[in-house]
Amino acid sequence: MISSVPKWVGDLFANSLRPNAKVLETSYISSQIKKIRFQGDISKKNFEIGYANVIRVSETDYRNYTAAYHDKKNGIIDIIVHIHGNGVGSRYFDALRTNDEIFIGPSRGKIVYNKRAKQQFIFGDETSLGVAVALFPLLKSNNHQFQFYFELDEENKNVPALLGLKNFIVFIRNNSFRSEKWISDLPLFRTDEWNTANFILVGNVKSVQTFRKVLKAKTQGSIHSQGYWLEGKKGL
């Protein structure tokens, strides 16, 4: 997905990139997790689970965010952002206030939810919280057996509960998910109960890749994975 374009390209398409949504309200779930509600014309956007919207965060930079909630009738869209470090995206979203106007672009990405699978397993970190919140009502209404595993910083360990999620386990980030052996010993693999589940892996590239490798070796389920960020790489 696009992360930046030269300024002249942005200037060339200035009319099509003009602000098209307004901030209705914001709240901090933790010092690093901010929930923002926008209102605009979202009637033509696709909100498949796993899709993300392009948001312009500077004259040249763009970031991709999954809608945690949307209401096409009233033009409402919620996103959950991870504010950390001093990146252009973090600075932009941290500064957003009520009535600010932004550009929200088209939706695109990978479909990760398989309604036909009885069991759904979701792994991610702070950047996956929007996907988790969007998916949660479907998991309940379609009577899935489901489990969330979250790899989070200590200060964000209570965020899943504050967002109303259920059936989750929080693992404090310490690079454990970079170890195939450690992953292989998780409760998930102690029985055959989840052997044919629909596995959704999103978030840090290295964690996702390692988890995927273990799942491919130990299960027969469908695996859908997408890295959202990688240390040292700008705007993945």
pLDDT at 60: 82
pLDDT tens for residues 75-92? 999 999 999 878 888 999
Give residue 149's pLDDT: 98
141 and 96 together in one domain: no
pLDDT along the chain (236 residues), means of 10: 54 65 97 97 89 88 91 96 87 95 88 93 96 97 97 97 98 95 94 94 95 96 90 59
Q: What are phi and psi of 181, to 5 degrees?
A: -65, -45
Q: Which of 109, 136, 170 is the last residue of a domain?
A: 109
Q: What is the reported pTM?
A: 0.90
Structure confidence at residue 50 (pLDDT): 87
**Residue 215 is assigned to a structural domain of this protein:** yes
114's tokens? 């398989």
Q: Are residues 155 and 211 in the same domain?
A: yes
- Strand bridging mode 101-102 / 104-109: unpaired
Domain CATH code at residue 161: 3.40.50.80
Give the model's pLDDT for residue 1: 47
Assess whether 105 and 126 both reside in one domain: no
Domain total in the chain? 2
Residue 129 domain boundaries: 119-229
In a domain, 12, yes or no: yes
What are the structure tokens assigned to 42, written together? 């979202």
Q: Say what the pLDDT of residue 58 is.
A: 85
Residues 72 and 11 in one domain: yes
29/126 same-domain check: no
